[in-house]
Structure 1
Amino acid sequence: MINKAGKELTWLFALKILSRLFDLTLNILVLRDLEPGIYGLTTNLDLLTNVTLFYLKIVLKQTYSRLKDPNQEQTQSAVNLMYFGLLITICISPITVFVMSYNQSVNFAKTAFLYGISAIIDGASEPYAVQWIIQLKLNVIAKAEGLAVFIKTIVLYILLGKYTREIFQIETLIGFGIAQVIYSIIVFVYIFSLSTKTKPKLLNEEGVYVVSEMKQIGYQFTLMAFMKFLLQELEKIVMVIYNNPIISGEFTLVSHIGSIIPRFIYVNIEQIAYNLFPKISQDEQQQLLQKYLRFLNLIGISIVSAGIPCASAFLQIYGTQWTADSCVLAMQLYCIYIWIMGINGITESYVNSTIATKDMGWYRYLLIAQTIIYSLSLVIMVQLGSSGIIISNILSMSVRIFVSFLIIHKSGIQIQWSRILPKFWILYICGFLLQYLTQGFQLLILTAIYYGILGLVNLRTVIDVIKSN
């Protein structure tokens, strides 16, 4: 089982990282001529998508992913559940589009409509993706999303690129909307073309569409996931209410750059771990969790020690409009946030996939308390700009990690701290200090060489995660 997950992880790493690097490369060409205020409005659009797909992709998807060894009836139940979620998505989409478009420009309203359509199409692929997720054949999902990102980026560059924008005469925001719709269509068509057994149907003669076990878990996860959704998306909600496009633009750019690691490495490790942890013994859980933690610490320490000194030099690639002190500071803080995010993701994956149903009640109260604390800190810290938002995220996620480790310890898992740190980690601190001796493009080259060598020293850690043996 673990080796099978390792093969899928290899596909996910290779395809998604390549597609994301391609995405960032072409986006540099687009963003060099884009004002921060205009780009900041894409925060509203991301929030629209996340709200619309929240119940389908967060609650219901996690519900069936907890199944240890799903039989044919449970698999069909999962398909039925995702059709129910799709119906909810279709109902939520126009409401979300209307609310987000209220008192906005006509171009924003048109783009919001396109994002709403995109969310529905994206949601329509979920019933067809059930069989691949349950069987841990995540390479199908990786190929679909990798191809979609690749084509979406090309479309975005054609519509908004410096040398092609005059040909199509399309407003900037609407160009983002068209590219998003194309992304969703490609994901749907790819997964649909390979899937079978995807029609909703009764499980037995009594007229049951969803097994009782899945209903119960789904109910519990609805309450828990709502709290987690607020913890993850509250920053966007506050930025929309605060209505400062410059702050939103800086935060969106920084998070877009930093999303290479969280969205295309962390998310896939967490998805595999979430499906895998319930299916293996506790000893295997401990070994696997330690491997993941060591790998995530390797990535996190590397990003912190290399990213903070290089933040200003790196942002110059995107144009001088992005090199303000506030944006550079936000980029530096986000490097720390990426590290914290990885540790939080894997520990919460373990907790959410293994916690007993009877313990979900008090865990939910902990999430409520964390949400209240995060909300208060975010409202206060947003006054500091994009950096304040990131500081609030770091503090909130640190508390969540502490709670997760308490639950992990209670479950009987004993983390050996010496096994979750990369080899020669002290050299990363030395590298952090040495980088301040040089500047500009030369800094980026020397940093890449130095950390490339350290990466080779720790190559075994990466191989262990990919193979998971």
Structure 2
Amino acid sequence: MSRNILKSSVQNASFSIVFQIFFRCISFVLNAFIIRTVGQDVLGIMNVRLLLLESTILFLSKEPLLKACLTNAKSHNWAQVVNLIWLSVPLSALLGVILVYIWINVLSPTEDIYFTQYKYGCYAIALSCIIEQATQSVVLVAQSFCFVKLKIVIETFYVLGRTLIFVTLVLNRPSYAINAFSIAQLLSAVLFSILYYGFFAWYIPELKKKGKTGQDPLFADMADFPFRNIYDFLPGVMKNQGDIIDKKLLILTTTFVKQSFIKQILTEGERYVMTISPVLTFSQQSMYDIVNNLGSLAARFIFRPIEESSYFYFTQTIHRDEPLKQQDQKSVSEASEVLNQLCKVVTSIGLVVVVFGQSYSNTLLYLYGGKKLVETTLPTTLLQFHCFAIVLLAINGVTEAYVFATMNNKQLERYNYLMVIFSITFLLISYLLTNMLGPVGFILANCVNMAARILHSLHFIHQKYLGTNHNPLNGLIPAPKFVIVLFLCGISSKYSEAHFAPKSTLLHIAFGGVLFLLTLATWAFENRALLMLGYEKYKRRVSLKSD
């Protein structure tokens, strides 16, 4: 365990970000292929129902054990840890039996033409989860001993293999797309297992030969590697002194089980509501999933980096446990101005998305999924409503980043309980609104949830700056000229959608491009001081690098 943990953690985070972007791009293109090739019902069955089954089995059987076994890995009795992590296999099998029965016999049924494929899909998902869990001992060792690049390489092959198998099978027999999905899941799980075990089957003999020299970085500093052959990764093989499993880690696992259960419900809440509620058809579920993925692209690639960077900045500038009056006033003033400008930027981006989203949602969906995706008005309506959620998401990201960065420990603990209340309320509202309004209810429930969190953040920030000369929340109020131009562009783009789009999609897009440039120019004119400041900082950075 003498590898550099900090360096490996940073590398792991960096590679994970790149991999997530890669994975999202693959999923984005694959969904478009599925819509154009096999239709919306199939996409709903695969992306919502079957993937939720996989997520539930894997998360509940893997997450608690993996978290516990990664704790203080330096002092592990690896024989006990291997025995413990292998409990994920019978646990996933037990969960698989229970959940597959529920998925097939209790939840709302699929259409008759899909039922046989759907049933085999449930069995295939459960079996693929068991295969993947049988690899967890190797995955745990790779992570504990900082094999960062190995993880990324294997997961890349895993995603590419699953995608290529699925696409190849679907192109040959489009009517058996769910079977293709099931086969791809099974084969990719086998590939995942073979690659991990295969690497260590090669690595351990090589370590015995080259590890003593210390010249090869792949084998250097690994003298304490406890595994002497590939069979040591199996339960009960390594020599063990003491109990069969580590009782402390077992107790820790039970704690993580509770957390994982809550986290899974909060993370996949929308999908559970969709799955349990019989109101939405599979086609509607797939529509919501597509729109949610399209709409969240802005959150993933624009708002999330802003949120993460601003959180880091505020943690370095403002002290959690001191009132602002007792802190360095220059830093307080700078932080206030930064928050003000961040609020202004994300609010402006969100408003632009709202205005142009009302007229270009149908065009975007047509370009993404073809005629099949826009046969009904539902996808367009969903994306138009989702644009309003994006504004709230943008504001919530920045304001919550400041709140999390400046709260003291007591306030953070209190807010954690509040987040649970927000999330449970969101699930209840989602269920009610979905039964009343269909898929749009999910988006409205999300808006209510975001609005409640924003109000809490605004109250906290207002109280934080009470008694000072700063009011960073003024940045949430857009400039009047910008609002007027947005209003005029909104009307003009609606006119273009009604008169230009039916004749020429390209002309409609070109007209929107001109309006967008006009909006951008207006914003730049009203915020020229901010742009000049940014330009000066950029010039200074370039000059420092050249020196």
Q: TM-score, normalised by structure 2?
A: 0.60
Choose 77-86 or 299-308, whichever is displaced more.
Answer: 299-308
Q: Which residue of 121, 135, 140 corresponds with 1:130?
A: 140
What is the CA–CA distance in structure 2 between the aligned matches of 1:7 and 1:356, rounded to whole Å? 29
What is the CA–CA distance in structure 2 between the aligned matches of 1:334 and 1:215, rounded to whole Å? 43
Query: Is the counterpart of residue 225 in structure 1 residue 278 in structure 2?
Result: no
2:276 aligned residue: 241
2:251 aligned residue: 215
1:179-218 alignment runs, 5 A limit: 179-194=184-199, 199=233, 205-207=241-243, 209-210=245-246, 212=248, 215-216=251-252, 218=253
Matched-pair contact (CA < 8 Å) for 2:11–2:148: no
1:73 aligned residue: 75
Q: How large is the Cα RMSD of the aligned pairs?
A: 5.8
Matched-pair contact (CA < 8 Å) for 1:39–1:252: no
Listed as ranges, the gaps of 5+ residues in structure 2 are: 110-114, 201-224, 228-232, 320-330, 332-337, 464-470, 522-530, 539-547
Matched-pair contact (CA < 8 Å) for 1:121–1:185: yes
C-alpha distance 41-447 of structure 1, shift in aligned 2 (>3 A) = same
Q: How many residues align?
A: 441
For each residue in 1:365-412, what CA deviation from the matched residue of structure 2 results, as whole angstroms up to 9, or x when unmatched? 5455334422320121113121211222343356567779999999xx
1:56 aligned residue: 61
Which residue identity lines up with residue 180 of structure 2 in the other structure?
A: G
Matched-pair contact (CA < 8 Å) for 1:326–1:385: no
Choose 174-183 or 362-371, whichever is displaced more.
Answer: 362-371
Which residue identity lines up with residue 53 of structure 1 in the other structure?
A: L
1:315-334 alignment runs, 5 A limit: 315-317=365-367, 318-323=369-374, 324-334=376-386
Q: Which residue of 288, 294, 297 corresponds with 1:251?
A: 288
C-alpha distance 191-335 of structure 1, shift in aligned 2 (>3 A) = farther
What is the CA–CA distance in structure 1 between the aligned matches of 2:182 and 2:159, rounded to whole Å? 14
C-alpha distance 40-15 of structure 1, shift in aligned 2 (>3 A) = closer
Matched-pair contact (CA < 8 Å) for 2:34–2:43: no
What is the CA–CA distance in structure 2 between the aligned matches of 1:429 and 1:154, rounded to whole Å? 49
Q: SS at 1:207's partner residue?
A: coil
What is the CA–CA distance in structure 2 between the aligned matches of 1:137 and 1:268, rounded to whole Å? 26
Q: SS at 2:124's partner residue?
A: helix
Structure with more relative contact order (C-alpha pairs < 8 Å, separation 6 or more): 1
1:422-441 alignment runs, 5 A limit: 440-441=505-506
1:84 aligned residue: 87
1:24 aligned residue: 28
Matched-pair contact (CA < 8 Å) for 1:13–1:264: no
Which residue identity lines up with residue 261 of structure 2 in the other structure?
A: F
Q: SS at 2:38's partner residue?
A: coil
1:81-160 alignment runs, 5 A limit: 81-102=84-105, 104=109, 105-134=115-144, 138-160=148-170
What is the CA–CA distance in structure 2 between the aligned matches of 1:231 and 1:225, rounded to whole Å? 10
Which residue identity lines up with residue 165 of structure 1 in the other structure?
A: R
User: Sequence identity of aligned pairs in percent?
Assistant: 19
Matched-pair contact (CA < 8 Å) for 1:16–1:145: no
What is the CA–CA distance in structure 2 between the aligned matches of 1:63 and 1:397, rounded to whole Å? 32
Shift of 1:435: 6.3
What is the CA–CA distance in structure 2 between the aligned matches of 1:205 and 1:312, rounded to whole Å? 66
Shift of 1:319: 2.5
1:373 aligned residue: 425
What is the CA–CA distance in structure 2 between the aligned matches of 1:11 and 1:85, rounded to whole Å? 26
Choose 401-410 or 100-109, whichever is displaced more.
Answer: 401-410
C-alpha distance 401-173 of structure 1, shift in aligned 2 (>3 A) = farther
Shift of 1:269: 12
C-alpha distance 71-10 of structure 1, shift in aligned 2 (>3 A) = closer
C-alpha distance 229-8 of structure 1, shift in aligned 2 (>3 A) = closer
What is the CA–CA distance in structure 2 between the aligned matches of 1:165 and 1:372, rounded to whole Å? 42
For each residue in 1:289-327, what CA deviation from the matched residue of structure 2 results, as whole angstroms up to 9, or x when unmatched? x99xx7996998597677665421121131323223321
1:390 aligned residue: 443
For each residue in 1:158-215, what CA deviation from the matched residue of structure 2 results, as whole angstroms up to 9, or x when unmatched? 2223xx327xxx6232122122223333333334444586835799844273363773
Shift of 1:54: 2.4
Shift of 1:262: 7.4
Choose 395-404 or 151-160, whichever is displaced more.
Answer: 395-404
Which residue identity lines up with residue 173 of structure 2 in the other structure?
A: R
What is the CA–CA distance in structure 1 between the aligned matches of 2:460 and 2:132, rounded to whole Å? 34
Which residue identity lines up with residue 39 of structure 1 in the other structure?
A: L
Q: SS at 1:41's partner residue?
A: helix
1:265-284 alignment runs, 5 A limit: 283=316
Q: Which residue of 149, 169, 173 corresponds with 1:165?
A: 173
Matched-pair contact (CA < 8 Å) for 1:234–1:375: yes
Matched-pair contact (CA < 8 Å) for 1:12–1:139: no
What is the CA–CA distance in structure 2 between the aligned matches of 1:401 and 1:303, rounded to whole Å? 19
Which residue identity lines up with residue 182 of structure 1 in the other structure?
A: L
What is the CA–CA distance in structure 1 between the aligned matches of 2:146 and 2:430, rounded to whole Å? 37
What is the CA–CA distance in structure 2 between the aligned matches of 1:250 and 1:8, rounded to whole Å? 34
Shift of 1:335: 5.1
C-alpha distance 332-3 of structure 1, shift in aligned 2 (>3 A) = farther
Which residue identity lines up with residue 152 of structure 1 in the other structure?
A: R
Matched-pair contact (CA < 8 Å) for 2:347–2:395: no
Matched-pair contact (CA < 8 Å) for 2:347–2:394: no
For each residue in 1:64-89, what CA deviation from the matched residue of structure 2 results, as whole angstroms up to 9, or x when unmatched? 66x5xx34224947665543334311
Matched-pair contact (CA < 8 Å) for 1:224–1:367: no
C-alpha distance 320-123 of structure 1, shift in aligned 2 (>3 A) = same
Shift of 1:22: 4.0
Q: SS at 1:171's partner residue?
A: helix
What is the CA–CA distance in structure 2 between the aligned matches of 1:261 and 1:144, rounded to whole Å? 28
Matched-pair contact (CA < 8 Å) for 1:55–1:85: no
C-alpha distance 238-23 of structure 1, shift in aligned 2 (>3 A) = closer
For each residue in 1:96-116, what CA deviation from the matched residue of structure 2 results, as whole angstroms up to 9, or x when unmatched? 112101164222111111111
Shift of 1:134: 4.8
What is the CA–CA distance in structure 2 between the aligned matches of 1:82 and 1:285, rounded to whole Å? 42
C-alpha distance 304-13 of structure 1, shift in aligned 2 (>3 A) = farther
